[in-house]
Structure 1
C-alpha cells in the first residue's frame, strides 16, 4: 500500500508540475471587438446578463506531452467581460482579442494565445441560458444567431445550462412550443470611442 500511495503522490506532483501554462498579460495588446447581443426575440427580459470570453493556445506543437498521460495539454483561460445594457433587449461587451502574451513554455517555440469564443449568459427564473459567438464570426466582424425553444426557457431541468443552437432544425420543437433567437454581432473596436 505504501508503494502504491507513493506512486500516486509522485504522479500527482508530476501532473501539477506539468500544467503550468499560466499566461501573462500582453503589454502590446491592441485588438478589440465589441459584441452586441440582441434578445428582442425572447419572450422575457434576461436576468443577470454576463459575458465570458475564452482564450486558448492555437499551436499545440509548442507543448510537450503530459508526463502522466502522454496527451498534449490544451490550456484555456476565461475572462469575465463587463456587459453594458443598451436597452431591455440589447447588450454590448467589449472583448480583448489579444490579452495574453505569446510565451515559450517548453522550449519548443512560442505558444500563441488566441481568442476562441465568447458566451452571453442569462437567467430566466431558475434557469441558466447561454448563447455563444465563435472566433470566426468575431474575426470577420460577422454575426451568429442562436436558437432556443420555449421548453428550454420554461420547463427544462434547472441544474444544467441551456445552450442556444445555431441550426434551429435540430431542436424539433414539440407541439405548442415556439422558437426564439438571440443574435450576437461583432464589430472591430480599436479604442474606447469604438466600443460605444
Structure 2
C-alpha cells in the first residue's frame, strides 16, 4: 500500500496535476493561463529514497483505479464549466407585435375516416445567424444551442373539412440579444396539429408547410394513413404522432382508400 501511495504521488507530480487543476480553474474564471503540459525528464528525489530506483507502477486493478482517479481529477473542473454555462440567463426574445409579411393559410381535409375536434396551429422560428451567439468557450466547449421560439396561431373553422389561419414570416424581432451582433430570426415552418377528439392517447396528425412555399403561394399536401385515426391499434407510444409524407410516390404500395390528405394552401394577406 505504501508503494502504491508513493507511486500515486509520483504520477501526480510527473503530470503536474495540481498546476493543471489550478490553471483550469483560472480558465473557468476567464483568466488567460498557460497549462504546463511539459513533462519533467526525471523523477524528483523527494518521491524516492536517495539512490533508490523509482517505485514500481501498480498493476491490474490498482493501475486502473489510479488512472481513473487521474482522469476524474482532470474532468471535474470541465464539468463545472459546463454546469455554470447552463445557468446563464436566457435573453428575453421578443415577438413582433406588427408583422408585415402575412399569409392566410387554408387547411383542407380530404378522405379522412372521421372528424377532427382538435385543430391547433404553430409557427417555429430559429435564429439563422449563428455568428451572433456566444462562443463555445462560454458553453463548456460546445456550440451554443440555436435559439428556437414557437408561436401558436388559431385555426378558424369554416366547415368539418376546412379551416383558415394567419401566419407570418417576420414573427420575431431581430436584435442584438447576446452583445455580439444582430440575431436574425427565420421562420422554419408553419404546422397544424389535429386530433380526433383531443384525448391524450389519440394520434396527433402534423402536416406542415415551409416558408419557401408560403412566399411562392404554393399548396402543400400531406398524405397520412387512415388506420392511424383515431389511434393505430398497435401504437406503442402514449402520444403517437404522424407527420405523413408529401411525396405520394413514396407510398405507392398503398391504395388511395388507405390514405387521407391534409392540404395547406397559402395566400398573401394584408397586415
TM-score band w.r.t. shorter chain: 0.7 to 0.9
Matched, 1:16 2:92: no
Contiguous gaps of at least 5 residues in structure 2: 1-72
1:137 is paired with a residue whose SS is helix
Deviation, 1:47, is 2.4
Which residues in structure 2 correspond to 1:122-161 (within 5 Å)? 122-124=194-196, 126-153=202-229, 154-155=231-232, 157=235, 158-159=237-238, 160-161=240-241
With normalisation by structure 2, the TM-score equals 0.61
Moved more, 92-101 or 25-34: 25-34
Deviation, 1:174, is 5.7
2:110 is paired with a residue whose SS is coil
CA contact (8 A) 1:149 1:173 kept: no
1:116 is paired with a residue whose SS is strand
> Cα RMSD over matched residues?
2.8
What is the aligned counterpart of 2:111 among 17, 41, 50?
A: 41
Richer in strand (by share) = 1
Richer in helix (by share) = 2
Deviation, 1:172, is 5.5
Contiguous gaps of at least 5 residues in structure 1: 192-196
Per-residue deviation, residues 6-41 of structure 1 (Å, max 9, x unmatched): 864552231231x72441133553221111100033
CA contact (8 A) 1:41 1:182 kept: no
Distance 1:165 1:27 in 2: 34
1:170 is paired with a residue whose SS is helix
Larger RCO, structures 1/2 (Cα 8 Å, 6+ apart): 1
1:74 is paired with a residue whose SS is coil
The residue number in structure 1 matching 2:156 is 84
The residue number in structure 1 matching 2:165 is 93
